[in-house]
Structure 1
Amino acid sequence: MDHFADRLRAAPQSRLQRGAAAEALALARHLARWTQSVEEPGAQAREMPDAGMFAAADQILVAAHDLALVLESEDQVSEAVGLVEEARKRAGV
């Protein structure tokens, strides 16, 4: 996760605009919904706001760290790591 965030921070604005920031935001939103579903089962999910392309790295870090606090098994950790890696590849960073 930290590597992905660092790569986003170092990415040129043009790459962020071509989809890397949107991919990061989509990942952050997914991780945040996952956390919410564990913390508040059955509650209506709240959507992480779009804080702009330059905040995308911070948003994925916050969402991932929140999720790490509620994961209950190694399988869940592996799934989360896989999601991050897939998003990093799609983002092209």
Structure 2
Amino acid sequence: MVGEAVSLDPPTIESVKGDPSGVEIPPGGTTVEIAVTLTGTASKGQKVEIQDGGVRKEEAIADPTTGIWSKTITGLSVAAHSFTAKALYGAGASSAART
């Protein structure tokens, strides 16, 4: 609707799970899996860029009803990672790092 206010919520990362195990990796936790599925929130229907150490990995689109997004990142090395979700809308806010 024209003139309707749009909420621009900053993105978050709520969950990181090993793939294919589906086991939750807590903040600061470790895994030997080379793929993870990240889930978070953002402004409804908006895009976020998933970064690892500031390097672009993938994009995800937040659900237009719930604002929840999810993306599997593959091809990871067995090493330390620091994931953030950066808004591709508004001022481009970033989530807190999930390591």
Judging by fraction of residues, say which structure has more helix.
1
Judging by fraction of residues, say which structure has more strand.
2
TM over 0.5: no
Query: TM-score when scaled to structure 1?
Result: 0.30
Query: TM-score when scaled to structure 2?
Result: 0.29
